[in-house]
Amino acid sequence: MTVIGNYRIVRLIGEGGFGRTYEAMHTYLEERSCLKQNINMTPEDEALLRQEAKLLWNVHHHSLPAMRDYFKAPDGSFIMAMSFVEGKTLEQAVKKHTAIHPEDVSWITQRLLNALHYLHSKGVVHGDVKPPNVIVQPAEHNAVLVDYGLASLRPHRDTKPVGYTAVFAAPEIMDGKPPLPESDLYSLGLTMIYTLGGDPIAKTMPDAVPEKLREFYNDLVRYNPVDRPNWEKQDLVRRLSDIRLETFGRRSSGEK
């Protein structure tokens, strides 16, 4: 049994070039947690993990993970402890079902729009909205946006993207330009096109996707950021809610 600080490691969730992620149990509280640990013992990698922890420290939203702790492990690495988010990722769901029903995609989108609106109001651009970073919780009717390793706080004209996932990145990010809230909205649009069973590269959706939903997602993935909707131009959550009412006859999946 491996213990790091006050946490007992339950299992390895994932590992990349930068760090490892674990499911853990607090040894005193017996509460589940998610730990992220930098692999490379370099000041640069520790700085990236520290920045991620600082970004999340004052974030409190039901569709975002909660920060619990940040500390140095005995081996010299650093640990960021967060709330454990139960559920499958959108990527896992699409691989299992091929596509998600448009009404379910609609409420998932609304949850993520609310999360992004909150983040953007705090000056945070997520920078890596994609299917593996969205955990869906059908019983709670919630979707949680995770992994802030590429996030930027109050980016300015000289800010460069930390990195990106090419398939889901906005054009301006791949060009090395400053991250924008509209960049996250673009990535969200591609993520939902993928979730609908579409092609995020060609930006095409199955014929079964209702026209109003097509228009909504197509607006998010316009090439030029100034042509995309943003929080100042319109209430995106309300717009999608209106589309749900018109298309499915209800604003909430729980309505009769």
Inform me whether the pLDDT recorded for 254 exceeds 70: no
Rg of the chain in Å (alpha carbons): 19
Single-letter residue type at 211: E
Give which of 18, 142, 37, 150 is closest to 90, Cα–Cα.
Answer: 142
Task: Name the pLDDT band for 255 (thresholds 50, 70, 90).
Answer: very low
CA atoms of 26 and 24, how far apart (whole Å): 7
Residue 103, sorted as left (phi over 0), alpha (psi -120 to 50) or beta, turns out to be alpha
Walk me through the domains of the chain, giving residue ranges and CATH numbers. Answer: 3-83 (3.30.200.20), 88-248 (1.10.510.10)
Task: Name the pLDDT band for 253 (thresholds 50, 70, 90).
Answer: low
Give which of 208, 168, 167 is closest to 188, Cα–Cα.
Answer: 168
Inform me whether the pLDDT recorded for 252 exceeds 80: no
Mean pLDDT of the chain: 93
Tens of pLDDT, residues 147-177: 998 999 899 888 988 889 999 999 999 999 9
Inform me whether the pLDDT recorded for 94 exceeds 70: yes
Inform me whether the pLDDT recorded for 63 exceeds 70: yes
Average pLDDT over residues 69-87: 94
CA atoms of 90 and 134, how far apart (whole Å): 6
Tens of pLDDT, residues 179-218: 999 999 999 999 999 999 999 999 999 999 999 999 999 9
Residue 122: predicted pLDDT: 94
Residue 123: predicted pLDDT: 94
**Partners of 153 in beta bridges:** 124
| Number of residues in the chain | 256
Residue 15: predicted pLDDT: 85
Give which of 92, 101, 163 is closest to 131, Cα–Cα.
Answer: 92
